[in-house]
Structure 1
């Protein structure tokens, strides 16, 4: 297996991110239809990614792109800084907000390379940790994250309001 090609995304890559995000959005909408829209407006989605890629705290990596072939995965990372408080020490972290690899390109090392690049970014930015967020139903992703050195940190519980 060859080493996947990686590069930092620029605002000009917003349409590529919107394309790659489609299957991720589709899975979320199919699994959690009360929380996610199946098909966000493509123009608005591209504008969203273009705006995000201009934010100084955001870094996005594209994977699998070769001459003449489009990127097949991405990881959208945000630097978070929490100051010292009464309850906790200061912390610098990278939050991997999205990581997605096109279904036809999975199991080729792209996802692992994206996580490795996020870890390298965290090191370069003198971060204390890297977090990512995943839904409880995404069992396949959980196994992938664990195989790449991530472990559960906390859990969110959900309830619906009582009826009157």
Structure 2
């Protein structure tokens, strides 16, 4: 397996994987997510792949077929004037093809992202997980992540 920055030839495969992760979210929160859609369009992906502040990493097999991805964003802190300034690498989305889950693709991607965060001088790696996505929560806890903050909602 080779982990690298995504490029335009990966876009069709990224869209397939985005559909898979969207369906997971739609199953958990059908009140928010629209099945059969994706988070990003092909044009948005083309622009994103050019943006070094939003790196997209892919895990590719020996035929250079994308098995999973990690969409990331460099974020500057603080959120307010009472916080120390630092840079975070935020994992906006991480997905492994349903057919290859359990083969350590996600672990390899996450470890690669951690290495990139260190290389880029980041203080931390962060992400959000939807309540109800217990498999993702277990995976990230296994990878050593701890809850930093909780966002709560009251649906009207």
Q: TM-score, normalised by structure 1?
A: 0.87
What is the SS of the residue equivalent to 2:41?
helix
The residue number in structure 2 matching 1:141 is: 136
Task: Give me the whole-angstrom Cα distance separating, in 2, the residues matched to 1:92 and 1:80.
Answer: 6
What CA deviation, in whole Å up to 9, does each residue of 1:10-68 have, x standing for no partner?
234222211111110111112211211111279x722222222122201111113222x
The residue number in structure 2 matching 1:55 is: 51
TM-superposed deviation, 1:114: 0.5
The residue number in structure 1 matching 2:154 is: 159
Mark the runs of 5 or more structure 2 residues left unpaired by the alignment.
none
Aligned length: 156
Whether the aligned pair in 1 keeps the contact of 2:18 and 2:38 (CA below 8 Å) is no
Task: Give me the whole-angstrom Cα distance separating, in 1, the residues matched to 2:118 and 2:38.
Answer: 36
1:123–1:41 Cα change, 3 Å: closer
What CA deviation, in whole Å up to 9, does each residue of 1:70-128 have, x standing for no partner?
21100011111125853111010000000000111011110001101110111011100
Q: Give me the CA root mean square deviation.
A: 1.9
What is the SS of the residue equivalent to 2:66?
coil
TM-superposed deviation, 1:139: 0.7
Describe how 1:86-125 pairs up with structure 2 within 5 A: 86-125=81-120
The residue number in structure 1 matching 2:7 is: 10
Task: Give me the whole-angstrom Cα distance separating, in 2, the residues matched to 1:11 and 1:107.
Answer: 27
Q: Is 2:27 the counterpart of 1:33? A: no
What is the SS of the residue equivalent to 1:123?
helix
Return structure 1 stretches of 4+ with deviation > 6 angstroms.
Answer: none
Counterpart pick for 1:126 among 117, 121, 128: 121
- The structure that has the greater radius of gyration is 1
